[in-house]
Each structure stands twice: as C-alpha cells, then as structure tokens.
Structure 1
Amino acid sequence: MFTNTKFYHPYISPFDPCKPMKTKKYSTPPHLYIGFQPPNLEQFSPMEALRAGTLWKAFYDPYYNSYELAKGGIKGGIKG
C-alpha cells in the first residue's frame, strides 16, 4: 500500500536564523505508482468525474491546503 504524502527531515544548520521546520511533507501523484493502466478500473459517475478531474478513482488526487486542514475547514471527498 502507498500513500501520496511523503515526509522528510531536512538538515538543520546551527547557524540558521529562522526557527527550523524539523519535518517537511510533499505530495506525489497517484499515477507514479501505476505502470500501465489496468483494465476495468473503478470509475466515477459522469458528474463526479467532472468534479474530480478524472474518470478513474485510482487517479484521483485531491489537493488539501495544509492551512485549511489545520483549521478543520476541509472535510475532503467529492460531494454529489
């Protein structure tokens, strides 16, 4: 199983004038983990596909603003 969100720990200089960020994260798109598109992938309905930007659920990658997530403003998912 994979996750689209990756984390890493950058080098923290003792001379850095700013408060260091000890852990940083980034997102990778789902198509990196699928070599060739397999047959019979699960699909969204036409209206859900328009909202998601893709027909196939395996390729759906929502963007979540980290500031909105911290405030609890984004619930996630596709609303019909």
Structure 2
Amino acid sequence: MRDAPEPGGTPSDATLIEGHGLSVDASWGHIYGPVDLRVRTGGVTVLAGPEGRGRTALLLTLAGRMKPTKGELVVLPRDV
C-alpha cells in the first residue's frame, strides 16, 4: 500500500522507490537477486552486501541505468 500525499507535499514516510523480486543475470552468470526493498523519504537507506559486483549493479538498477532481468521496480516522482 502506498502512502497518500498530504495537501501541499508528501508525507515524511512516503515511499520513493519500491522493488519486488529484483534480479539481474548476465551472459556470464548471476549478478544479484532476488531483492525486495523499499526506500522512504526522510532518512538514510544503507545497502550492504558481500564484496563484488552485486551492490554496484543494484545501485545502477535503482538509478535507472541498468534494467532488471526479473522483478518489478517502481520509482515515484518527487518535486525537487
């Protein structure tokens, strides 16, 4: 369930990025996943994991620079 924005803005706990079952596979093998996550406004989100290419690939996916092989990614618009 998504949080409804308050009149004139977004609530401090509104979801900005939501991913379900995200994973990336390349021709040479599995990169990461499956990953479920929710990033909300008004805080700090830390991505931690083992050394390797998975964390970078996940960040590239969240930034829209790498397409996930599987899963659903929703990035909500935000006024800056």
- What's the TM-score once normalised by structure 2's chain length? 0.25
Structure with greater proportional strand content:
2
Q: Which has the higher contact order (CA 8 A, sep 6+)?
A: 2
Structure with higher helix content: 1
The TM-score normalised by the length of structure 1 is 0.25
Structure whose alpha-carbon radius of gyration is higher: 1
